[in-house]
Every structure is written in C-alpha cells, then in structure tokens.
Structure 1
C-alpha cells in the first residue's frame, strides 16, 4: 500500500499524465503538479491537487515523477534554465521517477547527471493509454536502484494497478518499454493489413475483428483499437511520429546488439509511408496529430479501397 504521507511532485499532464496523476489525487495523495500549459493542470486542483507555477516549486517534495514526450524534454524540465534541479534551493527529492518513453542513452545520461546531485533515478514507463487508465488496467515496468524502486512502486501501483514489474538496475525498464512499443507498431500494422484484406473480400470490419478478438490471437490491444478501425475514429491515443520514434529506438538497439529485426524494419517503413502521405496533404498537421491507427486509411488507398465508417456500436473490451 502506498504511503499517503509522502509528498509527491508531478511533471506533465498530457493525454497519459493527467489521468495518472488524477488517480493519485483521488487516492488522497499529496501531489504538487506542474505542466508547461498551466491551464491543463488546473482542473486537478478542484480534486485536491496543488498546481504550482514553477518547476522549482517541486524541489521540496519527497519523490518527483515525470512523464514527457522525449529525452530532450526530460532534460529540459530537470536541467534547463527553468529546471527543477537548476533552480532548486536546498535539498532535492532523493528519488526522481520517470514514466516517459525515452532512449537508453538519454536515460543513462540523465541518471549520471542526477547522481552528481545525490538523486536516485527510477525508470517506470507504462503500458496503455487513456482508455486503459480509466479502466484501471495500466501496468508499469520499473528499473533503477532497488531500494528507491521499491519505495516508488506502491505509488506507481495506484495508477498502474494491473501490475508493476521490477526488472533490475539501470535502464532495463527502458529496454522493456522500447520492445513493448515495437510490438505495438508491428501488431497495428499487421492488424490493418489483415483487416483490409478481409474487408476488401467482403467481410465487414466489425465482424472480422469480433472474430479476431474472440479468438486466441485477440488481446486487450486488438479489442480497444477495434472501434477505431470499424468506425474510423482517429481520436489520438498515440501519434504516428511517436510510434516512428519508438520503432527507431528498437532498430537502433538491434543494430547495436547485432539482433536482426526485419519485421520491425518493415513496420517502420509502413509508418513512414503513412507519415509521408500525410506530409503531402494540406491538412498534414491535423493528420499527424491523430491516432497512429489512421494508417488504415493510407493503406486502404494503396489497396484501391475507399473506407467509410460502419457506424457500429462496438466495445473496447476494457
């Protein structure tokens, strides 16, 4: 059980971060919250969170969490000119916990810089999206100094109740999350292909995906992407550019460690085709801000298909 007496700092309330910290606040944790756009965090104050003006205002908490888009963003909120470490007056939190998806190299560099300040760095990336958080099915993988990781894990379990796995020291959790997101890309790419094949040959998408979800190949992921693929709802859970970033991270590790990854390489090119097609259109920013599952429209076009919503009330299986 989490220790509610610990003061928690939280950086980042985007699509994932908002709902994660909301769970902490609703569980009566003492949470101070900073977000680049303050107005996005302000609704959390009505639930009992404390929204702060400056990153430096988080320097006095017991444990500091963050979830941002990239390694450079994490370095900025820690060590930038307005960063929490740069502007701390007095003692820093003993433990920083990062839930972002960043590269192993970025994580190693940040860990080394924090160690110079006597701070332990715990990696705690998560598996899921906003729908998964709402359903209470988020999970996390954790690595870093064992004592600090074990202190952080009860707090992490509040927003990741499905399970928190400690995999060892250093950046091992980063490797697990990169591998996880590589699989996410491979699965969505193949799911798009086979759904289009069945659909072009006359099978309604909702019927085909119901069969898949009910069978041994179905998963939480295939189920919660089903409404998007059936009804062409591209409400963002994860953007194609972020998926490309994670596929590149996986391929970089494969090259470094001499692991052949041909399926990942092919998937990366599928994602790039979708991004390239978007860039050729006047509304490219809108397309690239939408969910990565919109790849289906790109590959339908390459298959001579024009898709329309099936307007079916299909559940997410969560």
Structure 2
C-alpha cells in the first residue's frame, strides 16, 4: 500500500458504538473511503450521510485494504474477524492489515493475530484512551503494537483518529499498556471522588474545588473533562463500571502472572464491584463519586453549572 492515496485506500470499519461511531466519522471527514458494519445496522446508518457505505456483514469488508474493529470483547473480536461471516470468511480475499482498537486481553488478541497471519494479513493492536467527546475534539490517544512495517503503513490512519499514536513494539505489548492505563483510570477516579467528597463535606463547592485541581500541577485532560460530570452529576455513560471492572480484573491477573503486587488496584476493583452491586450499571463509572458520598453520609446535589470540559481547542 506504499504510495496509496486517501482516495485509493479502501477502509473497512467494524463496530459503531459510542467510540467506533465517532472514530469512523473522523476517517470519513479526513477524506478516506470507508465501508462500515455494525451488528445493529441502524446505529451505523447515519454515517452514510458522511459518505460511508453500510454493509451487511464483516465478510463484505474482505476486499478492503485495511480493516478496523472497535468491539466490546475478545469473543466479539474473534467473531467479526474469524467467524462464519467474519472478515476472513471470504476464501478469495482478505485485508492486508487489520487494526483492532478494542480493549481485549493479550490472549484473545494473539488468537486473532494467528488467524490473520494464516491468511497473510498483519494485525496491529491499537487500543485507545478517551471517550466519544475526546474523539470529536481530536484529542484521542492511541497505543499500538504489531509488525513495525504494518504500523508504519497505518500510522497516517491512526494519526487521523486523534492527536497521536505511540508505537511500543511487536505482538501484544499495546494490550499491556492499555490495561495499565485503565488501572490508572480507575484508581485516579476513585481518588478524585474521595477528595471531592472530602472538600465538599468540609464546605467547599465542587465546582470551586475542581477548578483549583484543574489549574494545579495535579490537573490533567482527564480531570478537566470529568469535571462537568462531577459538578452536575451527569452520568451519561462513556465507560461503564462493568467495562472498568473487566479491565481491572485483566490487570490483576497480569499482576499475579508477573509477580507485581497491586493493592490499590485490588481495592479499587472491589469498590467498582460494590458500585455494580448497588445497581450502577448502564451509567458512567464516574458515579463512583455518588458511592463515595453515600459512604460519607453526604447528600449530593447537582450544582447545575456550565463548566468547561477542557476539550475545546
């Protein structure tokens, strides 16, 4: 595909949930030719307004030069790549490179990588950091691993999805990086919930406290874009407790295998499990704030304020 232009390159995209939809949209807006599959076709159809061709199965993407997937787990990844109607189910055609942006285990990823290799295709593991709003703001970050030449081929596509990609080596190394990232996500969110409740119970308004944190050396892209949810108790899901628990479990399993103690991770995992047990399911994991407030005897109220999420460039 060396020297192939945007107009000549045909991309296949699998999975248009909150993240996948936004990411496929960025490729379309960047001028790429994209065919899209989603199990629930209606969720993909609005992308046709941006120029996407909506197809009926992953098999219909076998003619594409590069295919992407953004699915919920290893079983889904296996199905859309290697299943009866998967990308590899066409005996005569297969993509040259498959890029998976999902959060799956290294073992599940390696299994699909072998299936692709058997058909002469490379795989790039490219899990991402951010949510749909981050994608739309062009601030998505990506970590990638796989054959270096294949990475160099798809690097312009990954760059089009956000503000940069970090290549960390061959095989499944990107999966380890993403697991470590999501452990930090959970631990930082729990810590932010604890100190926010502590400050409010001590008499400080949430918006004022978080404004200070965001302007301090401890502020980050994450604390800034989580601030509106914390201030206004808006738990529209970007990443659910169940998905966070899955990644914490993967991290703890990796720690056991590698002999790395993770007491903070283990404690956070149990708090997320308690959150799920209290009925926090189809909701954003930031609602850890509410669980912390209940434990502290604090009755949280929305502050009904417009505060910046820090995503506008």
Q: Hey, what does 1:283 align to over in structure 2? A: none
Correspondence for 1:45 among 43, 48, 65 = 48
Does the aligned pair in 1 maintain the 2:82–2:112 contact within 8 Å? no
Does the aligned pair in 2 maintain the 1:2–1:154 contact within 8 Å? no
Give the whole-Å Cα distance in 1 for the aligned partners of 2:61 and 2:85. Answer: 12
Correspondence for 1:83 among 76, 86, 95 = 86
**Number of residue pairs matched by the alignment:** 308
**Aligned Cα root-mean-square deviation (Å):** 1.2
Q: Deviations over 1:216-255 (max 9, x none)?
A: 0000000000110111000111000000001111111111
Q: CA deviation at 1:127?
A: 1.0
Matched, 1:159 2:161: yes
Q: Deviations over 1:245-291 (max 9, x none)?
A: 0111111111100011111111111111111111xxxxxxxx41110
Q: CA deviation at 1:294?
A: 1.1
Q: Hey, what does 2:178 align to over in structure 1? A: 177
Correspondence for 2:303 among 307, 310, 315 = 310
Correspondence for 1:7 among 4, 7, 10 = 10
Q: Hey, what does 1:94 align to over in structure 2? A: 96
Q: CA deviation at 1:54?
A: 1.8
Q: Deviations over 1:67-93 (max 9, x none)?
A: 10111110011122222212x141201
Q: CA deviation at 1:296?
A: 1.4
After TM superposition, the score normalised by the length of structure 1 is 0.95
Structure 1: unaligned runs, 5 residues or longer: 279-286
Correspondence for 2:66 among 63, 66, 88 = 63
* Structure 1 segments of 4+ aligned residues over 4 angstroms from their partners: none
Q: Hey, what does 1:106 align to over in structure 2? A: 108
Structure 2: unaligned runs, 5 residues or longer: none
Does the aligned pair in 2 maintain the 1:59–1:89 contact within 8 Å? no
Matched, 1:235 2:236: yes
More off after superposition, 109-118 vs 124-133: 109-118
Correspondence for 1:127 among 122, 126, 129 = 129
After TM superposition, the score normalised by the length of structure 2 is 0.96
